[in-house]
Amino acid sequence: MTVPAEVSVVLQRARRVCTPCGQGDLVWHIWGELGANPALPPLLLLHGGSGSWTHWLRNVLPLAASGRRVLVPDLPGFGDSALPASGTDADAMPAPIELGLAQLLGNTACDVAGFSFGGMSAGLLASKFPARVASLVLIGTPGMGLQALVPFKLKGWRHLPDEAQRLAVHRENLQLLMLHAPEAITPLACQLQLANTLRDKLPKRRLSRTDILARAMPGLRCPLHAVYGEHDPFYKGQTHAFENVLQQAPGFRGMHAIAAAGHWVQFEQADAFNQRLLALLETPHGPVQGG
């Protein structure tokens, strides 16, 4: 598949690095190294399920331009990265991520933002390796023991032999789950979705339907924010229920809605999301209760 021009432009600004993962490599892309402000923690971005670093395509350059060193792996089992050594779900992510961060950053703590499946991975990383996470931002994150109030079923596409047919199904699935406005479902969005789902090597993930992250909340000592699109089908109609779960974290600081956005909020409303994320990262954080 041809790499979209928008992807090539962003990739040209990155440094590609590999760290160990299972029987192969965890593939990272890093932006902003030359202009990074040494007073700011590095920013780790973790993408969603069936995704890759391109879930952050519209975010990495603006975030790096703010003075951040931005690190984005293809999570184990996704994109160009190898399968994790053990496990097939979010609980298999923290160990290889920490191994890679130790190689890339030493003991330096990061600000971490995780989207959807990546939010579960980020929360579990903060739970297992608390010294690594300076602050945590969860974006449209499941694993809270809550299900969408209006169930939806994504359509299958792997049986379709023609790329045009597959793209048509991805367009429908993007509208069902990922993006709110029809005009946001662009050819680029469909191409990214197709390329990412083709490389998803962990198709049997189930933890998003459980309360795995909710159970970790009481032990999270870092400052914690949650961001979501106001039309996210997972959050719509039950933001108070999500907030009740998040309040179990001693460092919880609040929930923040992005208008006119669905689940893939950082793509659909990139400018508003980038501004909000940077504002949250720059918020002074008082001591965490019990920390």
Q: Is the CB of residue 175 less than 8 Å from the CB of residue 185?
A: yes
Kindly state the average pLDDT of the residues 98-119. 98
Q: Which CB contacts under 8 angstroms, 24+ apart, belong to 169-172?
A: 170/194, 170/197
Q: Determine the pLDDT at residue 285.
A: 64
Given pLDDT bands bounded at 50, 70 and 90, which one contains residue 290?
very low
Asked if residues 140 and 229 have their Cβ atoms less than 8 Å apart, the reply is yes
Identify the residue with better confidence: 158 or 124: 124
Angle 187-198/163-173 helices, nearest 10 degrees?
Answer: 100
CATH class for domain 5-150+204-282? alpha beta
Report the pLDDT value the prediction gives residue 46, as an integer from 0 to 100: 99
The one-letter amino acid code at 243 reads E
At 163 the pLDDT is: 83
Of the chain, the percentage scoring pLDDT greater than 70 comes to 97
Q: What is the pLDDT of residue 291?
A: 39
Tell me how many degrees the CA angle 266-268-271 measures, rounded to the nearest 5: 60
Residue-wise pLDDT for 128-160, tens only, equals 999 999 999 999 999 999 999 988 788 888 788
Cα–Cα distance, 210 to 118 (Å, whole number) = 15
Contact, 69 vs 36, CB < 8 A? Answer: yes
Share of the chain above pLDDT 90, in %: 87
**Could you read off the pLDDT of 196-236 as tens digits, one per residue?**
999 999 988 999 999 999 999 999 999 999 999 999 999 99
Backbone φ, ψ for residue 84 (5° rounding)? -65, 160
pLDDT at 18 over 90: yes
> C-alpha 53: how far from its chain's center?
9
Q: How far is CA 277 from CA 114, 234, 283, in A?
A: 11, 20, 10
Confidence (pTM): 0.96
Overall average pLDDT of the 275-281 stretch: 97
Domain ranges of the chain: 5-150+204-282
Lowest mean pLDDT among 17-31, 81-95, 212-226, 274-288: 274-288
On whether the CB atoms of residues 221 and 290 are closer than 8 A, the answer is yes
Task: Give the residue-averaged pLDDT of 91-112.
Answer: 98
